[in-house]
Copies of this chain bind each other. A is one copy, B any other.
Amino acid sequence: MKESKAVSPPIDSRRWFVDELGKYLARKNLKQTKQRQALIDVFLGAATHVSAEELHSAARGAGLDVGLATVYRTLNLLVDAKIVEQKQFSEGRFVYEIAQPGGHHDHLICLDCGIVIEFANDEIERLQEKVAAAHKFKLTSHRLDLFGHCQKQNCERRAGN
């Protein structure tokens, strides 16, 4: 149910996603199964950030009889394959998002309604590299989450988040 914007939406990333997964499965001698295919379809059709539980009920709702364990196993597989990223905005549970072929982005999260806006800022990234270099670190990844309150009129209404 959550919206997301400000970074190019994954319109043509479906092909990329399926290709990468195929390559990964082949490389690891793993198999293409009905459940994996279906979960991927559900995932691609779902919101930008989904939890395992949400993916599970979405799949069930779509008529697929899949176990929660399989959802977790599939998500972990996709993370291993580096085509999905595991995030944690609200404490206590992971959400997953489809990795963007090229770019990295960070998140701006509304504490009231839970909306997650993605953004990218090269200048910040550059400064991060500078900080890392100053401490003799080789940077491999980072996480930048900004928390605050959005100014939407319909905000705060969604108390569920």
8 A-B residue contacts at CB 8 Å? A110-B137, A124-B124, A124-B131, A132-B146, A132-B148, A135-B150, A138-B148, A141-B148
Smallest CB-CB separation from A139: which chain B residue? B148
**Is A149 part of the contact surface with B, judged by Cβ < 8 Å?**
yes
Q: Chain B residues with Cβ under 8 A from A144's Cβ? A: 128, 142-145
**Is A123 part of the contact surface with B, judged by Cβ < 8 Å?**
yes
Q: Is the CB of A135 within 8 A of B6?
A: yes
A136-B151, A137-B151, A142-B146 are known; give 4 further A-B pairs, CB within 8 A.
Answer: A91-B94, A108-B135, A110-B137, A144-B145
What residues make up the interface of A, taking CB atoms closer than 8 Å to B? 6, 88, 91, 94, 108, 110-111, 117, 119, 121, 123-124, 127-128, 131-132, 135-151
Count this chain's copies in the assembly: 2
Q: Chain B residues with Cβ under 8 A from A142's Cβ? A: 144-147
Bound CA–CA A6/B141 (angstroms): 20
Bound CA–CA A121/B149 (angstroms): 23
CB distance from A35 to the nearest CB of B (A): 25
Bound CA–CA A132/B147 (angstroms): 9
Q: Is the CB of A149 within 8 A of B141?
A: no
Assuming the A-B contacts A119-B135, A131-B121, are A145 and B143 also in contact, with contact meaning beta carbons closer than 8 angstroms in the complex?
Answer: yes
